[in-house]
Amino acid sequence: MVVPVALTGATGFLGLRLLRQLLAVHRSVTVLAHAGSGDALHRITRFFELSGAPGPVVSELPHRVRVVETDLERPRLGLSAPAFQELADGLDALWHSAGSINLEGDLPQLRRTNVDGTRRVLELAAAGRRKPVVHHVSTAFVAGARRDGVAYEDELDDASGFENAYERSKYEAEKLVHAWSREHGRPVVVLRPSILVTDLPPHPDLPSHPLQVIERILSDVRRTAGPEHKSQEHESQEHGNPAVRRPHGPSHPGLRAALPRLHVRLVGQPDGRLNLTQVEHAAEVMVRLADRTPSGGVDTYHVVHDRDVPVRTVVALLEGLSGISIDLVATKPDTPSALEAPLDFYPGMTAYLGHRRRFDDTRVRTLLGPSAVSAPVDLGYLWSGLGPEEPVPAPTPPPASPATVPSDRYA
């Protein structure tokens, strides 16, 4: 079976949604699955079942999805020379969504996965006689450690440094894509999503999304807390330190009521904001953008939400899930408590609580019009994709500020 569309990372959080969208417009898709990682078709099938796909769609998956086991860190993707050439020659489009999203990973390992993996995919595209168009999934966070202002799609530099090795590895992968496009005179579509979330309830058979990782860290901190921490308040709270502002989260009925309230301090901006995008919407937008005729060079798109989420909303979510009160402070505490010390091992995640920048997506909105606009991402939506089944109480709206007034679409 010759399938002209191939996708890496098809069993990942975004990849599963991309596969569903691609199958909506293509008869079949070749999934380049990681060799030895298990039954990719089974995991794909479970996702379709758990996300409510109709029975006939699920039953057709074995006939519409071709799985080829590959290794992105090996020459020819770990395939024999004839198998590699046969795969390359049959492709019209190549989607590269696979990669490590480990924000705490070390740079050498992340380079092997994110940079060298991209290089191997580009080698596959270069070898194909039909010259497939490459669709490279990057991240809006190649913008690096600049926390204010506007990040534009045509920007790609390392002048501000990076929050973590993950961002740098994705930046280096994008630079590689640009160099490949110039060398071969071939078009590439670069898609930069922001932080992807869902309201699909968590399930052991589904991949988690980034906020689940943070929630698990805080929950681990709570579980390892000794009895000496019960009902403790930070000294700054006892003395009413005005430098500390706590965004109060939901008190979920029956979930955390019997647990002692613990506190941690995290560096962050109370008026900060993060761009969180529904993964289902992001996948739909990406596949629609792929239907555009490429320019011949590198076309880059920010696939982001049209309104940012206040950091206070994210903190409220984490408080409600973990049972830990979070104090946003301007600088890292000189003497972290026993509860706070473990969080020092995860600076790549907590750094985003200090962001106030926005991502320009004028290009996407111009091409797709009103359909590029996402549904709201609020506390209730986020809770649905992370928390227990009981509804989360509505939070008290934060006071209006220049960053959140209705006329500012990035508030």
For residue 220, tell me if it sits in a domain.
no
Q: What is the pLDDT of residue 215?
A: 75
Residues 187-204: pLDDT tens digits? 999 999 999 999 999 899
Confidence of residue 216 (pLDDT cuts 50, 70, 90): confident
Cα(373)–Cα(375) distance, integer angstroms = 7
Confidence of residue 403 (pLDDT cuts 50, 70, 90): very low
CA atoms within a 13 Å half-sphere pointing along the CA-CB vector of 372 = 19
Structure-model confidence comparison of residues 230 and 166, the more confident one: 166
Question: Structure tokens of 197?
Answer: 């979330």
For residue 222, tell me if it sits in a domain.
no
Residue 163's nearest CA partner among 153, 151, 171 is 171
Interhelix angle 165-184/116-127, nearest 10 degrees: 20
Q: Is the pLDDT of residue 387 over 50?
A: yes
CA atoms within a 13 Å half-sphere pointing along the CA-CB vector of 261 = 14
Question: Structure tokens of 64?
Answer: 């519409």
Long-range contacts, stretch 202-210, CB < 8 angstroms, 24+ apart: 202/385, 202/386, 203/50, 205/43, 205/46, 205/47, 205/50, 206/46, 206/47, 206/50, 207/11, 207/12, 207/13, 207/16, 208/13, 209/13, 209/279, 209/385, 210/101, 210/103, 210/349
* Mean pLDDT of all residues in 365-375: 92
For residue 71, tell me if it sits in a domain.
yes
Confidence of residue 344 (pLDDT cuts 50, 70, 90): low
Cα of 244 vs its chain's centroid, Å:
29
For residue 93, tell me if it sits in a domain.
yes
For residue 210, tell me if it sits in a domain.
no
Q: What is the pLDDT of residue 345?
A: 58
Residues 60-72: pLDDT tens digits? 999 999 999 999 9
The secondary structure of the chain, three-state, reads: CCCCEEEECCCCHHHHHHHHHHHHHCCCEEEEEECCCCCHHHHHHHHHHHCCCCHHHHHHHHHHEEEEEECCCCHHHHCCHHHHHHHHHCCCEEEECCCCCCCCCCHHHHHHHHHHHHHHHHHHHHHCCCCCEEEEECCHHHHCCCCCCEECCCCCCCCCCCCCHHHHHHHHHHHHHHHHHHHHCCCEEEEEECEEECCCCCCCCCCCCHHHHHHHHHHHHHHHCCHHHCCCCCHHHHCCCCCCECCCCCCCCCCCCCCCCEEEEEECCCCCEECEEEHHHHHHHHHHHHCCCCCCCEEEEEECCCCCEEHHHHHHHHHHHHCEEEEEECCCCCCCCCCCHHHHHCHHHHHHHHCCCEECCHHHHHHHHHHHCCCCCCHHHHHHCCCCCCCCCCCCCCCCCCCCCCCCCCC
Q: What is the pLDDT of residue 247?
A: 39
For residue 101, tell me if it sits in a domain.
yes
Whole-number Cα distances in Å, 55 to 51, 172, 205, 307: 11, 42, 18, 35
Q: What is the pLDDT of residue 121?
A: 98
Percent share of the chain, pLDDT over 90:
63
Q: What is the pLDDT of residue 226?
A: 52
Q: Is the pLDDT of residue 230 over 80?
A: no
Confidence of residue 259 (pLDDT cuts 50, 70, 90): very low
Cα(31)–Cα(19) distance, integer angstroms = 9
Mean pLDDT of the chain: 84
Question: Structure tokens of 343?
Answer: 């969080």
Question: Structure tokens of 339?
Answer: 């509860």
Q: Is the pLDDT of residue 97 over 50?
A: yes
Question: Structure tokens of 190?
Answer: 């670069």
Residue 289 maps to which CATH number? 3.40.50.720
Q: Which residue is associated with the tokens 């681990």?
A: 220
Cα(311)–Cα(314) distance, integer angstroms = 5
Q: Is the pLDDT of residue 262 over 60?
A: yes
For residue 316, tell me if it sits in a domain.
no
Residues 241-253: pLDDT tens digits? 333 333 333 444 3
Residues 6+ apart with CB under 8 A from 178: 156, 188, 298
For residue 27, tell me if it sits in a domain.
yes
pTM of the model: 0.86
Domain count, the chain: 1
Confidence of residue 217 (pLDDT cuts 50, 70, 90): confident
Q: What is the pLDDT of residue 81?
A: 97
Long-range contacts, stretch 400-404, CB < 8 angstroms, 24+ apart: 401/271, 403/271, 403/273, 403/310, 403/356, 404/271, 404/273, 404/310
Q: In terms of residue numbers, what domain contains 113? A: 5-197+276-303
Structure-model confidence comparison of residues 326 and 169, the more confident one: 169
Q: Is the pLDDT of residue 307 over 80?
A: yes
Q: What is the pLDDT of residue 214?
A: 77
